Amino acid sequence: MRVLVTGGAGFIGSNVVDVAIDKGWSVKIIDNLSTGFESNINSKCEFINADICDYNSIEGHFKGIDIVFHLAALPRVQPSIDDPLPYNKVNIEGTLSVLDACKNHGVKKIIFSSSSSVYGECGDEPVSEEYRKEPLSPYALQKLVCEEYFKLYFKLFGISSVCLRYFNVYGKRQPEIGSYVPVVGIFFKQFREGKSLTVTGDGKQARDFVNVLDVADANIKAAETDLIGYNYFNVGAGKNYKIIDIAKKVCYNIEHIEKRIEPKNTIADIEKIRNVLGWKCQIDLMEWIGENKD
């Protein structure tokens, strides 16, 4: 299998690369290192330092590729609200650039890293893939627009896709530096530095957390499936934990900070991915924290 991973130097992308390498696949990475790190790059793959928005610099690297894992993006919700233009350029125009390169070189399948944020406010019950879509940020809307492009490119050019809607991803190489990094990364960094763990509001908001190794496994299973057309799956644990309970699992030095506007609860309905791809979450958040916080 000859695969190309956009964003392969990033948090999730580098873990996907490692699993693909372990399977004996030939792997090529395209990443401009704007959010990824050179230290994340597997030495057994070919690395191209390029921007997905620069079509001329990436197009030729799709020749001979069987499957593309498209993970390159500007991540996170709040920064996309604060500064939407660069997010739109990378997340939509960059995706279209990748799709067109696939079309021109006969790539027949793309695995896309989408987001549970496409659902918007979720309520208290598990959210299935058919739940209504009401994005609450430019980032969420951009992911949904990209999914529509994948649907269209199958109709027009026969390129199949599997869109994986991640819930809250944590684990190996998780971001810990910068604004709006995922909460598990924030807690680990604060704990190591001897600082109070900052919990917004009362911390009773609950989130579905999925380990990045499980996410990488979902990507591989999606690549190996013979599904045709536009396909989409939730990728989550199927259960959630309150933020205050996660903080207490790390330590009891906790500081409550001002509440912000955010969903009260998120939880994925994962029956579809379990039944169709044979995937399920293997790693429990609380057990992982206990094993990795020191």
As a whole-number percent, the residues of the chain with pLDDT over 90 amount to 88
CA of residue 117 relative to chain centroid, distance = 11
Cα separation, 94 vs 114, whole angstroms: 14
pLDDT in tens, 215-247: 999 999 999 999 999 999 999 999 999 999 999
Whether residue 42 is predicted with pLDDT greater than 80 in this model: the reply is: yes
Cβ contact 136:117 at 8 Å: yes
Cα separation, 270 vs 280, whole angstroms: 8
Cα separation, 51 vs 49, whole angstroms: 7
Q: Tokens standing for 249?
A: 């699992």
CA distances from 193 to 101, 186, 190 (A): 45, 11, 5
* CATH class held by domain 2-168+210-235: alpha beta
As a whole-number percent, the residues of the chain with pLDDT over 70 amount to 98
Q: Give me the pLDDT at residue 4, please.
A: 98
Amino acid identity of residue 172, one-letter, is K
pLDDT in tens, 98-135: 999 999 999 999 999 999 999 998 888 999 999 999 99
Q: Give me the pLDDT at residue 78, please.
A: 83
Would you place residue 62 in the very low, low, confident or very high pLDDT band (cuts 50, 70, 90)? very high
Q: Tokens standing for 6?
A: 């956009």
15: left (phi over 0), alpha (psi -120 to 50) or beta: alpha
Cα separation, 171 vs 44, whole angstroms: 22
Q: Give me the pLDDT at residue 276, please.
A: 98
Tokens 């309970």 locate to 245
**Catalytic residue list contains 139:** yes
Whether residue 48 is predicted with pLDDT greater than 80 in this model: the reply is: yes
Q: Give me the pLDDT at residue 293, please.
A: 81
Compute the mean pLDDT over every residue in the chain, rounded to the nearest whole number.
Answer: 94
Cα separation, 43 vs 48, whole angstroms: 12
Catalytic, out of 87, 119, 131, 139: 139
Whether residue 147 is predicted with pLDDT greater than 70 in this model: the reply is: yes
Cβ contact 3:26 at 8 Å: yes
Q: Specify the CATH number of the domain 172-208+239-270+282-292.
A: 3.90.25.10
Whether residue 177 is predicted with pLDDT greater than 80 in this model: the reply is: no
**Residue ranges per domain, the chain?**
2-168+210-235, 172-208+239-270+282-292
